[in-house]
A and B are shown apart, each in its own frame.
Chain A
Amino acid sequence: MVLLEARNVGYKYPRSDDQSISQVSLALNSNSLNVIIGPSGIGKSTLLNLIAGYAMPQAGELLMNGARITQASWQRGIVFQDMALYPWLNVSQNITFGPRMRKLPATQIEQRLTSLLTQTGLLDFKNKYVYELSGGLRQRVALAREFINQPAILMLDESFSALDNHIRKEMHQILLDLWTSSGNCVIVITHDIDEALFLGQKIIVMNGDPGTIKQTVVNPYFKSNFDDMTSNMAYFDFRRALLALIE
């Protein structure tokens, strides 16, 4: 069932050099992992901002469950590249921020917190302040903060790009595990082809000026690690074709 639909969406930032988008159309289902890939500055983050409800499309429309998106909502969570964790709160307080603001019952919050701290390996750090954590652990906090809220759509805006390769792979696995148990619609923005191939059931290629969706590709190599595919020629052909689309 289509959860999120964009119909010919267009947007240009007023008095800004930020990339605009035009004629963007897509349809995403719940319980799906989607990757939007494209060169830097093509308008991928602009599209996420529109889906999040931080800005309204100047052309076309964005619908969630058939209703037009008009403002930000906990139903559409977002993890920024800089994570935007609150340094004055500790790990548990950061993670439970959303449910506390939504006034969910304390027992429910506690249950979800314990489960997520275990899943993300943050149990030992729950009382630490976020500035005391490494980049990888902070990313786990940022993911847990979103998953605890159980949004219908979760967006990750180049969230793993600043991490080193080893930690990035760890984060990919944590994201996959969390997504499997939550079943929400995840949209990952990246410019890393291998990240896209590993995380995307569906890979959406953006390109052009103004940015638009060039092609949507169903990924037969979803959850396949680049390192494990070195002898698979079909994988490399697919990867090469995808790269050509991006460039």
Chain B
Amino acid sequence: MKKTGKLKYLSISLLTITVLIMIWTLVTGLDLLPEVLLPSLGKIGNTFVKLWHFGYGGVALYTHYLITMQRLLIAVLCAIVLGIPLGLMSGYVPLIKAIVDPLIQFIRPIPPLAYYTLLILWLGIGETSKITLLFLAALPPIYIACFDSVTRIDLEYLQSASSLGASRWQIFCNIVFPAAVPDIFTGLRSAVGVAYTTIVSAEMIAASSGIGWMIIDSSHYLKSDVMFIGIILLGVTGVLIDQLLKRLELHFVHWEGKK
């Protein structure tokens, strides 16, 4: 996108947010909706300051935040470490596809919450079950992106590499992997998205910390201001993570679309 185009895009985005804030201020200022349904921005700000100083449920707000991010980070890292080689190898070696693919295809459509209680039974109510839930949610998008990228790889890349003297393993490392990097980033962004949407579920059951837990717990007491703080924190972090991944993609996949 050109610089003027970017500026225009940014202005429109900022305008949308400004209009939304104005409507919110108007609705809450005129008491058009009860506070429990839509607290004012001022109240949300005050509650944020209170939470920052005194925490929620005896745990500091930043600790809730860090716990959630830690769970997310560990789960996504595990999904990357396992999902990328597994997806690439499945696309490259039919035997590995025959072993792995049915399992991933089985897990993929199941809503993570459906097997969460089983995970708790198997792994206990601690961190392991929560991280495993997020890991299982993040794994299929990364695996499928990697698998698809191998099946779509330009046949002439593979043929020319073999005619230049590369072995099958060398082709995997030097052609298949770099050619798949753009799709790996796409899969990674989807994986973070899916894991992110699962985090509230993971912290719903048998948890006493984390932003997801804070949202669920505050909902029991109709503390919508606390809920909004949790939602805004998750939303802003989600956008920032996605932007970070986009920038990393631009840096590492400088050739995309420029074949």
Which residues of A pack against B, CB within 8 Å?
52-54, 71-74, 76-78, 80, 82, 84, 86-88, 97-99, 101-102, 129, 131, 145-146, 149, 151
Evaluate contact between A84 and B157: CB separation under 8 angstroms: yes
A155 vs chain B, min Cβ distance (A): 9
A13 vs chain B, min Cβ distance (A): 13
Residue of A77, A82, A97, A129 near B156 (CB, 8 A) is: A82
Q: Closest residue of chain B to A82, judged by CB?
A: B156
Binds A, one of B21-29, B143-151, B161-169: B161-169
Residue of A77, A80, A82, A88 near B164 (CB, 8 A) is: A77
Which chain B positions have C-beta within 8 A of A53?
Answer: 163
Which chain A positions have C-beta within 8 A of B167?
Answer: 101
Evaluate contact between B178 and A86: CB separation under 8 angstroms: yes
Evaluate contact between B258 and A84: CB separation under 8 angstroms: no
Which chain B positions have C-beta within 8 A of A151?
Answer: 163
**Cα–Cα, bound, A80→B179 (Å):** 18
Which chain B positions have C-beta within 8 A of A74?
Answer: 163-165
Which chain A positions have C-beta within 8 A of B159?
Answer: 52, 54, 72, 78, 80, 84
**Cα–Cα, bound, A98→B165 (Å):** 6
Evaluate contact between A76 and B164: CB separation under 8 angstroms: no
A-facing residues in B143-189 (Cβ within 8 Å): 154, 156-157, 159-167, 170, 174-175, 178-179, 181
5 A-B pairs (CB sep. < 8 Å): A88-B178, A98-B165, A102-B165, A131-B255, A131-B259
Known: A74-B165, A84-B154. 20 other contacts (CB 8 A): A52-B163, A53-B163, A54-B159, A74-B163, A76-B163, A82-B156, A84-B156, A84-B157, A87-B258, A88-B178, A88-B181, A97-B161, A97-B166, A98-B165, A101-B161, A101-B164, A101-B174, A129-B254, A131-B255, A149-B164
Which chain B positions have C-beta within 8 A of A78?
Answer: 159-160, 163
**Cα–Cα, bound, A82→B157 (Å):** 10
Which chain A positions have C-beta within 8 A of B156?
Answer: 80, 82, 84
**Cα–Cα, bound, A97→B179 (Å):** 15
What is the count of residue pairs linking A and B with beta-carbon distances less than 8 angstroms? 66
**Cα–Cα, bound, A131→B257 (Å):** 9
Size category of the B interface is: 20 to 34
**Cα–Cα, bound, A102→B167 (Å):** 9
A160 vs chain B, min Cβ distance (A): 17
Residue of B154, B165, B170, B178 near A149 (CB, 8 A) is: B165
Residue of A52, A72, A86 near B157 (CB, 8 A) is: A86
Evaluate contact between A131 and B163: CB separation under 8 angstroms: no
**Cα–Cα, bound, A73→B157 (Å):** 15
Known contacts A84-B154, A86-B178, A88-B181; is-contact A73 B163 (Cβ 8 Å): yes
Which chain A positions have C-beta within 8 A of B154?
Answer: 84
Q: Closest residue of chain A to B256, judged by CB?
A: A87
Q: Closest residue of chain A to B259, judged by CB?
A: A87
Q: Closest residue of chain A to B170, judged by CB?
A: A101
Known contacts A72-B159, A78-B160, A88-B178; is-contact A129 B165 (Cβ 8 Å): no
Which chain A positions have C-beta within 8 A of B170?
Answer: 101
Q: Which of B162, B165, B167, B181 counts the most A-chain CB atoms under 10 A from its CB?
A: B165
Which chain B positions have C-beta within 8 A of A86?
Answer: 157, 175, 178-179
Which chain A positions have C-beta within 8 A of B175?
Answer: 86
Known contacts A84-B157, A88-B178; is-contact A97 B254 (Cβ 8 Å): no
Residue of B163, B178, B254 near A72 (CB, 8 A) is: B163
**Cα–Cα, bound, A131→B170 (Å):** 23
Which chain B positions have C-beta within 8 A of A149?
Answer: 164-165
A-facing residues in B38-68 (Cβ within 8 Å): none
Q: Closest residue of chain B to A72, judged by CB?
A: B162
**Cα–Cα, bound, A73→B161 (Å):** 10
B180 vs chain A, min Cβ distance (A): 11
Which chain B positions have C-beta within 8 A of A77?
Answer: 163-164
Q: Closest residue of chain A to B154, judged by CB?
A: A84
Evaluate contact between B181 and A80: CB separation under 8 angstroms: no
Evaluate contact between A98 and B178: CB separation under 8 angstroms: no
**Cα–Cα, bound, A143→B162 (Å):** 16
**Cα–Cα, bound, A97→B258 (Å):** 20
Which chain B positions have C-beta within 8 A of A97?
Answer: 161, 164, 166, 174
**Cα–Cα, bound, A72→B162 (Å):** 6
**Cα–Cα, bound, A145→B161 (Å):** 11
Which chain B positions have C-beta within 8 A of A131?
Answer: 255, 258-259
Known contacts A54-B159, A72-B159, A78-B160; is-contact A101 B255 (Cβ 8 Å): no
